[in-house]
Structure 1
Amino acid sequence: MIRRRLLTTLLLWCCATAALAQALPAAVNTDPARAQVVLPEPADPRLPSLILIGDSTVRNGHDDGQGKGPAGQWGWGNPLAAYFDATKLNVVNRAVGGLSSRTYLSSGHWERTQPYIKAGDVVLIQFGHNDSGALNDNSRARGTIKGVGEQSEEIDNLLTGKHETVHSYGWYLRFYIAEIKRRGATPVICSPIPRKDWDASGKIVRSRDGYAGWAAQVARQQQVGLIDLNEQVARQYDALGRESTMRMFPQTTPEERVHTNWAGAELNARTVVAGLKALRLPLPFSAAAQAIAPLEDERPVVDAARVTAEKPRDAALPTLFLVGDSTVKSGGVNGAIGWGERIAPYFDVNKINVVNHAIGGRSSRTFYTEGRWQRVLEQLKAGDVVAIQFGHNDGGRIGDPAMKGRASGKGIGPETVEDIKPDGGKEQVHTFGWYMARYVADARAKGASVILLSPVPHKDVWEQGRDFASFAEWDQQVARNGGAQFADLTMVISDGYRKLGAQTVGDYFADARTHTNDAGAVFNARSVVSAFKGLPGNPLGAYLSAEGQQIPAADLK
């Protein structure tokens, strides 16, 4: 009996000790900066690799769930591997629990990881959970200076006994980006996953003013891809509700706010896949990834109340109306300028008006359903020309909240898909070609002519092949069937980019892949004029200014 009680007491003590160990970050029990952690290497060095660097939310402990199976703590890097074809890509999780952007470098883990990075690889970077700690103490000394600035602080590290220069969180992210690019690989910043914390309104707390915001700022500054895990995962938690979100974290340690169980890691991994799809990186996804729609967090829906409606300056003159999305009109948000905002100087103001009705975040579908096309028709008259460019916001799955109600159906047919809107209403969503054909028919009925333009290419696609192939094909078919003209603007700009080279083209973008800055907008505007001049009959040739006449016509064959 006594022996049984002793065994019971010992068992309870062991369980309590294990629970305490699970409740505390791994760095409390060991110093990851000093530990000789055994990390995986590429299974087949001949293949390209997707390499992960980060903290325990990416790779927890020994990456085994502490022997508790799905109930244990898991980083999202483990389930991520199942979404890629292992015969074509290595997924190499080199994250280490307990480290910050600073200590991953100072501990030597980056030095040991760097040799595995080669040209053609993609490297995901997620730090932030441990960067808020002390800059100098005798337990972890892993903190970084808050923000993205160039400030630094000299310390004699109480933990390592070494003199060290500590930089900002943004500085370390920029360091990794530069090193990854130097090796010919592609860096992608991931903002840190959200914690299990709710605000007063019952929403998951975001870190827009902290590490998530700083990660996004660095990605924009360095013009690299961003997967905003902080915001995207938080949205999913909000949709799930408090009770279901709690089940994404270990149930045996309810006080755990940072580390997910397997279910949470799986949700985070799927969000990473969706983010990678949105970035359109050339990665071989597995069959399991096919059902995951891409995130579209790079495509904000502009508040129409903040956009001043344009109208023709001289009603007696013909008007060139521009219809499209933020790549046509961005308005300078975050430094982005659309080509439609720089095209006017190439036309003679004494002969034609140029009116830009484009607005950010719209697709062929939402420009129509919001009544924006009707406003164009109210201004349209015989002899006017309408140039229409959509496609950037038309992709994705109809009904997916991440698409923000913008996705249109594939193809040019009459079929529809019913979409249940947030207010419970129902919408019959048509194909991309249906909307474009409606624009053509309506404009021609008013006596105007129409030019359909395929979308401007993304920054990271034009070198490897053609972008927007399907949309170009649909535009061309609609133009042919409806009596409009079609210009493959995607390829006109891509061909121009190839002549300039990647380094120059990289300086034309205000973000990682979609929106141009002023220089890029000017280049694209000139490309649009070139495309117009290459159309049969040069329909706008008589209205060009002296500067516009000097632009050579594009070869649209």
Structure 2
Amino acid sequence: MKRYLQSLLLFLFCQSFAMAQAPAASPLPAAVNTDPAKAQVVLPEPANPSLPSLVLIGDSTVRNGHDDGQGKGPAGQWGWGNPIANYFDQSKVNVVNRAVGGLSSRTYVTSGHWQRTLALVKKGDVVLMQFGHNDASAINDTSRARGTIRGTGNETEEIDNLLTKQRETVHSYGWYLADYIAQIRAKGATPVVVSLIPRKRWGDDGKVRRNAGDYAGWAREVARRENAGFIDLNELAARRYDEIGRDEVMKLFPLVTPDESVHTNWAGADLNARIVVGGIRALNLHPLVAALNERGRAIPANPPIPASEDDRPVVDSKSVKAEQAANAALPTLHLVGDSTVKSGGASGHIGWGERIAPYFDTARVNVVNHAIGGRSSRTFLTEGRWQRVLDQLKAGDVVLIQFGHNDGGRIGDPAMKGRASGPGTGPETVEDKKPDGTVEQVHTFGWYMARYVQDAKAKGATVVLLSPVPHRDAWQDRRDFENFARWDREVAERHGALFADLTMAITEGYRRIGAGVVDTYFSDARTHTNDAGASFNAQRVVAAVKGLPGGLVDKWLSAQGRQVEASSC
């Protein structure tokens, strides 16, 4: 027994010694993120310039490093822009992944990558953009200086860039996305905004954290405002993560120290790529859908996301009584627009057109409010409502027209309720196939506004185009509805109408009274005013119209109207 114990002790000692002498296991490699200042990437170009191209721009979650997984194969870091090529027949389309790790929506431009990429874009191409992960970084530092101003507004920050040693004007995240969209469209290509992939992070409710409150939500807002396609990769990937559970999600990311929460491995990149393909199918993007290979065609279109549905109400026309002039012998001030002009008190909403009459002497002029909730410049015409206004118009009348709130969104998207118009003021059209099989040729916002102007002028009436009333959350440090105001102004100048920037006339008033008061003027979170807000906006409409040349309505004003100071907007 004694000999056995001696042998056992000797064995354990030797084992302990051997373990002590053995080299410690190497720690897992740290996460790698491409630094464009240190790694000169060579970006691909279209393999066959005669074919249409799917062009991808973004950060390392779209294309990571040098397309090699940092030498670790499928276990390394990969962006979804790599596996997505496997779902297309590349004899029919080029898949050109020009994303660069470490860049933001701002520095993809300032680094020169966008200029070089845009030179490759041609008519018929589709450009997918996904930024956000790097936009939250510092705006100015000596490391990367890549941050953008939070939100979608037009505010700017002037900096002396500590990294580039150059003077620079920094814009908001949404501004850069909108600028990409405009430049892509100018080349005859189709822009699509993709929200950023979610991080591998869970909330207290056990679900993957979304970014609907910041970069994903801002991406959606810009796409909707600019009438561009949108793929909510952030929400759809998070839903998929929730479905498969935490253990399976861990397998979609590289096993590194510290824990990698942003960049996926090949399996994770492929999951995201499949969601993007599903988004392409849901948007029915030509020519990409026709270029899908068998694997791509096997991926179903992404389901609609309830959160993306257009929650702007459409008023049942049967519940709205058509208004007529009280005295046909008098001239008439006609009001045309949406629910911000006339809501009828539904859910506490009241439009400014319902509170404007006291500013006019009804012994001298009729005030007739033809507006109806939920209509756009497009649907007010196609539903025959404009014709009913024309039937009442006569020489000497004045028509105030305000649309824009319901004109945004993508044509053909059922969530937009068939009311989106095309962006701009040009003659181009887009086909919208209805559920009943009929096809509507949808025009630009400016085309519809020009139609109203021309029709009214032919009747001898004067038209004033008003830019939309601002949203509750878009007046303090930026201007709202910049595009619609510009388009209204262009149409007015081109076709002999008058233009009043009602957006800014109200914004100036809001800034004078402050957010504490303004918040009490709204009956919902963002768009519709209550009685006090409608009364305030009505006064600003009178101020804006009084500021127009020629004293258009001066002779019709009541004592209350004459007391309103003209606005210079």
The TM-score range, normalised by the shorter chain, is 0.5 to 0.7
Amino acid at match of 2:144: R
**1:302: Cα distance to partner?**
8.2
Give the Cα separation in 2 of the matches to 1:298 and 1:172.
27
- Corresponding residue of 2:299: 292
> For each residue in 1:365-412, what CA deviation from the matched residue of structure 2 results, as whole angstroms up to 9, or x when unmatched?
xxxxxxxxxxxxxxxxxxxxxxxxxx9769xxxxxxxxxxxxxxxxxx
Q: Which one of the candidate residues 39, 64, 86 is aligned to 2:68?
A: 64
Give the Cα separation in 1 of the matches to 2:110 and 2:261.
27
What is the SS of the residue equivalent to 1:194?
A: coil
- Corresponding residue of 1:319: none
- Corresponding residue of 1:25: 33
**Counterpart check, 1:155 vs 2:159:** yes
Residues 345/308 of structure 1: CA separation in 2 closer, same or farther (3 Å cut): closer
> For each residue in 1:469-499, what CA deviation from the matched residue of structure 2 results, as whole angstroms up to 9, or x when unmatched?
9x656xxxxxxxxxxxxxx3x2xx22xx4xx
What is the SS of the residue equivalent to 1:101?
A: coil
> For each residue in 1:244-291, what CA deviation from the matched residue of structure 2 results, as whole angstroms up to 9, or x when unmatched?
222211134471110011111111111111111111111121111112
Give the Cα separation in 2 of the matches to 1:73 and 1:232.
21
**Counterpart check, 1:55 vs 2:59:** yes
Amino acid at match of 2:297: Q
- Corresponding residue of 2:269: 265
- Corresponding residue of 1:241: 245
Q: Is the 8 A contact 2:315 2:373 kept in 1?
A: no
Give the Cα separation in 2 of the matches to 1:239 and 1:45.
41
Give the Cα separation in 1 of the matches to 2:310 and 2:112.
45
Give the Cα separation in 2 of the matches to 1:464 and 1:232.
31
Give the Cα separation in 2 of the matches to 1:73 and 1:342.
53
- Corresponding residue of 1:222: 226
Residues 468/218 of structure 1: CA separation in 2 closer, same or farther (3 Å cut): closer
**1:108: Cα distance to partner?**
1.2
Q: Which one of the candidate residues 73, 76, 80 is aligned to 1:76?
A: 80
> For each residue in 1:408-463, what CA deviation from the matched residue of structure 2 results, as whole angstroms up to 9, or x when unmatched?
xxxxxxxxxxxxxxxxxxxxxxxxxxxxxxxxxxxxxxxxxxxxxxx899969x98
Q: Is the 8 A contact 1:70 1:261 kept in 2?
A: yes
- Corresponding residue of 2:447: 504
Residues 468/133 of structure 1: CA separation in 2 closer, same or farther (3 Å cut): same
Give the Cα separation in 1 of the matches to 2:38 and 2:110.
10
Q: Equivalent residues in 2 for 1:87-486 (5 A)?
A: 87-253=91-257, 255-282=259-286, 283=288, 284-295=291-302, 296-297=304-305, 468=433, 472=436
- Corresponding residue of 1:546: none
**1:25: Cα distance to partner?**
2.8
What is the SS of the residue equivalent to 2:119?
A: helix
TM-score (norm 1): 0.56
What is the SS of the residue equivalent to 1:188?
A: strand
**1:67: Cα distance to partner?**
2.1
**1:208: Cα distance to partner?**
1.2
What is the SS of the residue equivalent to 2:170?
A: strand
Amino acid at match of 2:34: A
**1:128: Cα distance to partner?**
0.4
Residues 176/298 of structure 1: CA separation in 2 closer, same or farther (3 Å cut): farther
TM-score (norm 2): 0.55
- Corresponding residue of 2:334: none
Amino acid at match of 1:19: P
Residues 80/161 of structure 1: CA separation in 2 closer, same or farther (3 Å cut): same
- Corresponding residue of 2:44: 40
Residues 218/34 of structure 1: CA separation in 2 closer, same or farther (3 Å cut): farther
Give the Cα separation in 1 of the matches to 2:61 and 2:276.
13
State the structure with more CA Rg.
2
Unaligned regions of 5+ residues in structure 2, if any? 1-17, 322-371, 390-411, 452-467, 469-483, 488-569
**1:209: Cα distance to partner?**
1.4
Amino acid at match of 1:290: R
Amino acid at match of 2:447: T
What is the SS of the residue equivalent to 2:106?
A: helix
Give the Cα separation in 2 of the matches to 1:139 and 1:211.
22
Give the Cα separation in 2 of the matches to 1:115 and 1:92.
13
What is the SS of the residue equivalent to 1:216?
A: helix
Residues 218/112 of structure 1: CA separation in 2 closer, same or farther (3 Å cut): same
The CA RMSD over aligned residues, in Å, is: 4.4
Give percent identity, aligned residues only.
52
**1:106: Cα distance to partner?**
1.0
Question: How many equivalent pairs are there?
Answer: 363
Q: Is the 8 A contact 2:421 2:444 kept in 1?
A: no
> For each residue in 1:182-240, what CA deviation from the matched residue of structure 2 results, as whole angstroms up to 9, or x when unmatched?
21111111111111111110111111111111111111121111111111111111112
Residues 161/507 of structure 1: CA separation in 2 closer, same or farther (3 Å cut): farther
Q: Is the 8 A contact 2:195 2:216 kept in 1?
A: yes
Q: Which moved more, 1:210-219 or 1:286-295?
A: 286-295
**1:243: Cα distance to partner?**
1.6
Q: Is the 8 A contact 1:459 1:505 kept in 2?
A: no
- Corresponding residue of 1:426: none
Residues 300/181 of structure 1: CA separation in 2 closer, same or farther (3 Å cut): closer
Residues 71/336 of structure 1: CA separation in 2 closer, same or farther (3 Å cut): farther
Unaligned regions of 5+ residues in structure 1, if any? 315-330, 349-390, 395-454, 474-487, 511-516, 520-557
- Corresponding residue of 1:325: none
Q: Is the 8 A contact 1:54 1:101 kept in 2?
A: yes
Give the Cα separation in 2 of the matches to 1:285 and 1:464.
26
Residues 139/120 of structure 1: CA separation in 2 closer, same or farther (3 Å cut): same
Give the Cα separation in 2 of the matches to 1:51 and 1:70.
23
